[in-house]
């Protein structure tokens, strides 16, 4: 495999990990006001992700860093093109991150309510924006021959991309709901999590079928049989996950939902290959692994680093999930 291809795969892996892991963090944040009806319950819901959300978010930061290192032109074009969208995402992530830390640090209902709102919007908005971004990537945006974005904020918001945003928000909310069915212990909370998982499970499947149709219509997805097949398999995975929810098999539901997210992400990158950003002005202006990459020298150093370090990261993040494997309960809430 060429180094550029390896990095294309690695970036796919990073985004897949990011969407699976941050997916449930976003989902839990979005469901917070609906599953946690009082302070103790909301703290319990939050404690399911409290030890791990920060590590999950680093998947996004690493994906960004990897893009910068391996495909600097993609990093430059993408981040400057999505300027205001990324600003909104940063605001959301800032508020959410600080809210996790500060929420329980002052005994006032107004204080807690403010930060609960920050967690809700700070989770829902990025979930939506990632959907917009992904659909824009595959749908294409105006990029000229100098790799510079020539549109504005509103070019990014087409009917198709807004629909993509809604699909991602639903998908991550569902992922969060299935995660909570695995992690919660208290009966009432667990019931609410299952009921949310059921209602969002239906939505995921229905919206994904429409999304598949729109995607074929708006992109060149049909040119890649593999991408199309993976996309259909993603819908199947979500459907099976939904049936597992109905059978109260929470682990199976969560794993299948994660598989659905993984297949969706991989499908997107397969459809893109060898491109990373599609130009709607002229196919020759698209950013690809050939015209947007770093030098073979830089890539070879980064390849060695990635091969040595990614497994280590996976091991200690795995250990962290193992340490916090016990279901969380309102009775076990510590001082935090």
Partner 1 sequence: MDALELSRWQFAITTIYHFFFVPVTLGLSIFTALIETCYVFTKHEKWKPVAKKLTKFFGTLFLINFAMGVVTGIVQEFHFGMNWSEYSRFMGDIFGAPLALEALTAFFLESTFIGIWMFGWDKLNEKLHLLSIWLVAFGSNLSAFWILVANSFMQHPVGYSILNGRAEMANFTSLVTNPYVVGEYSHALFAGITTGGFVVVAVSAWKILRDEASRAAFATTIKAGAIFMLAGLFGVMGSGHLHTQYLAKANPMKLSSIEALWETENPAPFAIAAVINKDAGKNDFEIAVPGVFSFMLYNKFDGEVKGINDLQKMNEKEYGEGNYIPDVTGLFWSFRAMVGAGGFMIMLALFTLYLSFTNKLTKCSCFLKVLPYLLPVAFIANTAGWYIAEGGRQPWIVVGLQKTADAVSPNLTGGEVLLTTVGFTLIYLILAIAALYAAFHYIKTTAVTEGSEA
Residues that bind partner 1 (CB under 8 A): 47, 50-55, 57-58, 61-62, 64-73, 75-81, 83-84, 86-87, 90-91, 93-95, 97-98, 100-102, 105-106, 147-150, 153, 294-295, 297-298, 301-302, 305-306, 309-310, 313, 316-317, 320, 323-324, 334, 336
Beta carbon of residue 119, minimum distance to partner 1 (angstroms, whole number): 13
Beta carbon of residue 50, minimum distance to partner 1 (angstroms, whole number): 6
Beta carbon of residue 295, minimum distance to partner 1 (angstroms, whole number): 5
Beta carbon of residue 81, minimum distance to partner 1 (angstroms, whole number): 7
Distances (CA, A) of 85 to 60, 91, 206, 280, 294: 16, 10, 27, 19, 26
Q: Whole-angstrom Cα distance, residue 49 to residue 52?
A: 5
Strand partners, 141: 279
Q: Whole-angstrom Cα distance, residue 44 to residue 180?
A: 10
Taking a C-beta distance cutoff of 8 angstroms, is the pair 31, 173 a contact? yes
**Nearer CB in complex with partner 1: 1/308:** 308
Beta carbon of residue 78, minimum distance to partner 1 (angstroms, whole number): 7
**Nearer CB in complex with partner 1: 25/41:** 25
**Nearer CB in complex with partner 1: 149/174:** 149
**Nearer CB in complex with partner 1: 58/209:** 58
**Nearer CB in complex with partner 1: 103/192:** 103
**Nearer CB in complex with partner 1: 213/318:** 318
Beta carbon of residue 103, minimum distance to partner 1 (angstroms, whole number): 9
Q: CA angle, corner 176, sides to 260 and 181, nearest 5?
A: 100
**Nearer CB in complex with partner 1: 47/215:** 47
Q: Whole-angstrom Cα distance, residue 282 to residue 81?
A: 17
Beta carbon of residue 196, minimum distance to partner 1 (angstroms, whole number): 25
**Nearer CB in complex with partner 1: 152/199:** 152
State the distance between the two ends of the chain, measured CA to CA, in whole angstroms.
48
Q: Whole-angstrom Cα distance, residue 1 to residue 307?
A: 14
Beta carbon of residue 169, minimum distance to partner 1 (angstroms, whole number): 21
Backbone region of residue 140 per phi and psi (left: phi > 0; alpha: psi in -120 to 50; beta: other values): left
Q: Whole-angstrom Cα distance, residue 210 to residue 200?
A: 15
Which parts of the chain fold into alpha helices (H)? Answer: 3-35, 39-47, 53-70, 72-81, 83-102, 109-139, 159-183, 187-218, 225-246, 250-272, 296-323
* Residue from 53, 66, 55 nearest 26 by CA: 53
């Amino acid at each position: 495999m060429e180094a550029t291809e390896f990095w294309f795969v690695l970036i796919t892996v990073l985004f897949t990990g990011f969407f699976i892991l941050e997916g449930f963090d976003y989902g839990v944040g979005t469901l917070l006001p609906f599953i946690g009806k009082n302070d103790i319950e909301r703290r319990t819901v939050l404690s399911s992700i409290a030890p791990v959300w920060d590590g999950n978010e680093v998947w996004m930061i690493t994906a960004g860093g990897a893009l910068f290192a391996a495909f600097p032109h993609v990093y430059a074009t993408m981040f400057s093109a999505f300027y205001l969208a990324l600003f909104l995402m940063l605001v959301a992530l800032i508020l959410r991150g600080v809210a996790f830390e500060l929420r329980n640090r002052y005994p006032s209902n107004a204080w807690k309510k403010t930060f609960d709102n920050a967690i809700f919007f700070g989770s829902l908005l990025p979930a939506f924006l990632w959907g917009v971004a992904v659909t824009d990537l595959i749908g294409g945006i105006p990029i000229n021959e100098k790799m510079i974005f020539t549109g504005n904020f509103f070019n990014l918001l087409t009917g198709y991309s807004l629909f993509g945003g809604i699909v991602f928000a639903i998908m991550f909310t569902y992922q969060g709901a299935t995660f909570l069915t695995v992690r919660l212990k208290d009966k009432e909370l667990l019931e609410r999590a299952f009921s949310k998982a059921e209602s969002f499970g239906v939505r995921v499947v229905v919206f994904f079928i429409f999304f598949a149709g729109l995607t074929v219509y708006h992109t060149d997805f049909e040119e890649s049989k593999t991408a199309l097949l993976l996309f259909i398999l993603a819908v199947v995975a979500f459907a099976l996950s939904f049936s597992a929810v109905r059978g109260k098999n929470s682990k199976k539901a969560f794993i299948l939902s994660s598989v659905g997210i993984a297949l969706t992400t991989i499908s997107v990158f397969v459809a893109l290959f060898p491109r990373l950003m599609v130009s709607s002005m002229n196919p020759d202006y698209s950013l690809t692994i050939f015209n947007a990459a770093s030098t073979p020298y830089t890539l070879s150093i980064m390849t060695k680093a990635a091969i040595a370090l990614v497994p280590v990261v996976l091991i200690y993040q795995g250990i962290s999930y193992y340490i916090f494997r016990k279901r969380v309960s309102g009775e076990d809430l510590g001082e935090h």
